Structure 1
């Protein structure tokens, strides 16, 4: 297909916007309704075809003014196409490429997206790939969401990724505040800086981010469980910005008139939307013109500022404008420093006085005053020069003393004290060396050796756990992790990106069924392939469907046997062994668990 070709006797192809992985994205013109539309094309035999057709059907059921709706979907001439409304404006990835948004504008934009996503979730449809490229501010200042359900299908992602949508809302807020991406879906925006396997908080990346918005990002992207739905995210952001309609109207006015950012009253938040009206310049009343020829009464010595009648330029100091609406005479009386400048130049300051030279030696005292005498010598040590008022004591002569004889037994006492100190310090050094060899973690919360003082729990069953994907993840091999044979192992799927906030998924793992509620003291996990990071959750007496809301009781990492020891007593039937970082094997990230042993 080329520009100018007509598809389905209705859509004239105008501009090819994107061509990737066998799919093409066109701007086209609807010849029937005389309007521009967005057109997605893939070959009819493409394996994504059924996913795309089903996604278009589900997306069409969602009604929201912030959604660029699906208008048509069909197959013709060996091609399958989906037609969406056309949106003109700036996408979020292009906005933050110039500079991050102000906190108020960022919170407003993401609150609009969250409200739209909440409407879709209520209808049972998820976006599936909520990235900055799919969020648009159109030319009227309205927020539009692009590719609802359709874009995920074009990328081969399964439907129903509602939890990924909620996490990606945090990624959108993070990107709007910092210009960096930290969501679970793949985006072209530069990734957020990572420290200890987690993205830095927005306040650590950009100064001036409000604590409220920083906390919302941390709850969505970190280990917090504050938000369980997109509706809760929208409500929290709306509480921060106040009235969204005011900010939306200001955004539209900013795009229409090019208003520069203003500062929110009483805060340090510079509002780039112009949500608060700029303060108008004060009206300066034209004072009466006073000239040198005007008579002045002897008692009225106050002079008024000389301001031309047609002069509306603000002045500083001499001839400053009046802001309180008072007349010039009362203003000058209140502040006498506002006066007419004199035409006569002021006299120059007097010259500096010459500093007299200081003599090199002190002059002789006048007659009748005593001189300062030198200190007395041994010959006249008892003489006092100022009369017979007393005598100075003679300075005793220094006599060299012979060294004292050593006290018998003192050397033996010193040696005994040194030996005693060595005996005391040896046990302390032994304990410190043991702590260093044990990685400084006496509690064993993430040690790399198996525990030896607890009893293994028999009959543990394991199933694969992949709530962010298809929940398969080689489930048939999950039993190999608890079969007591370290030569066999359960392994994850291979991923092009590592797990975590910057990857496709936050994690995958195993659900361990202990058969009944039991007290757990530690879990020994033998991994293969390289360095692996683990997290242990207690799920209670019910099999979990997600890690959201579960208690994280221990973490650890290593490349062989990792011991996860809860810091406090844990009683549960179901445990979740959650892999958060995988080793790279043969060009892909893949984890393997050879043996899991739960100790009571």
Structure 2
């Protein structure tokens, strides 16, 4: 951004240190708060940016929400040439995308991450705030295991889709949180939009493969929630409902744990647990005493993890009989806690071994299909050579030959009986020309000649399932509300992709010739018909091009229309094979706020 660099002081307080990221004219910097002497993160954007006012307003509203799972907004402001948004520094954290780049997380850690994210989004929804762009890049885990959500309300304000109704917005956030949990367990992204650094989840009939088909040891309840939410449009409808469905989860980070073999005569000292362990109190209270301690331990663990639960037990003993009682409680509880931990580790190792045995047994079964291996084998295995031609059928001898010969003669005689009258009729007419016939009027079937069937209207093929979709802005910053692009092919005409707002006129403020979408098709696909749904409040001009790259250079124009509203069907007059269909909007629709935007509600191809 012009005039922004290392050393510049924003708002007479924040000294810029290093630029961390940028998107067009929006930049993210690390900075030092000279007033409090702490490191912060500051997002800068031009004050005349089309969405600047919306971003500042969203940041101020989210700053009023105090939840430990949300990245805190510390300051918001606007100057003559630049606006800023100051947030707490997360330099000691990693995004979920970075964490799963080396492999999947434990399923219970994925449950914990999803539970914390859903809890934060539920708290925001109670104040009328939504995220709408939850991805593995917007959720971070600190070195201490805390989960942080970045971009609440501001991400949707930046993309220009912050006008979704509350029920719809909560459903979008819920589906994205389930997708985040799916990605943490499998390292694959199950939703249509692309996520940098992550591979797409394998597609099967009915949607995406379930997590249990890709990863091992996936809990049945998480597997069922992923199936219902991602493939059947059922499952939880709001973050609060998702919290209730996946609870309870560990309040501390869950790590991979290898089984330990320890001598019976010398049990090891208890190690730091990775999840809350119920406190065990010695004495003669039986089951009731243990249940009481478990409730007390859970309450302490909710605040500070398993260590707080053990501390609570020790504190209870000390308050009853002084230092001697506390020492007795520690000595009595150390053995049971160690045994509980060893028992859990042994159960975990036994389950993993049992899972591996079942997989090996199923692999030995010829009918077993492992989806990831099948996909890899299909990509790496060349096509088999064509089958050889079938040998000539040997001659039939004997009485069967006579029977076949009789059938052939009968067929020839029958054919001659039909053919001879027709030939005689032709010779009898001589060289007469058929009388001209009037063209049929509306509702009248076209006449046919003998031996000719009525002309049938051309039939279209099956619907074409797009591989993906991206925004298209070749004359701007390269992106145009990218995250909303999948809504144009989600099968719902109530959702839509909409460009950024432009002032002055419908020609995008005379800044560019147009904007649009690039629909990725299976290789070599030929499109015969294009159906699009546009908004009804104003007309748009749209053109369609086919190419093998996301560029208008060398593309073939296959159709278009002007002043289009509502549903429009465009038959392709010159079908051309290609891997990308470019939807190019050259005249935007006027909006109620005085700006002009391109909008596509749905695209269906045949």
Specify the TM-score bucket, using the shorter chain as the normaliser.
0.3 to 0.5
TM-score by length of 1: 0.46
* Structure (1/2) with the larger helix percentage: 2
The structure whose Rg is larger is 1
TM-score by length of 2: 0.45
